[in-house]
Amino acid sequence: MGAVANYLKRFVREEDGVTIVEMVIIVAVILILIIPALADLGTAEDEKLKDLRQKLDKNG
């Protein structure tokens, strides 16, 4: 257990560790913003495809 604690202390002290944590936070924020937008886009496209299918069924 002491080895893990030492590793974590060293990781926090080193600048690379801070950079990695910053990057993880940035990626998390980007994903939090993008995922709902993609869900809305998928819903809108689904509605368009349903509408197209109905028009094709009526005319076909």
For the residues 38-58, what does the mean pLDDT come to?
A: 87
**Tens digits of residue pLDDT in 4-40:** 888 878 877 777 777 888 899 999 999 999 998 888 8
Query: What pLDDT shows up at residue 18?
Result: 73
Confidence class of residue 60 from pLDDT cuts 50, 70 and 90?
A: low
Per-residue model confidence (pLDDT) at position 24: 92
Domain boundaries, the chain: 16-58
pLDDT attached to residue 45: 85
Per DSSP, the residues of the chain read -HHHHHHHHHHHHSHHHHHHHHHHHHHHHHHHHHHHHHHHHHHHHHHHHHHHHHHHHHH-
User: pTM of whole model > 0.85?
Assistant: no
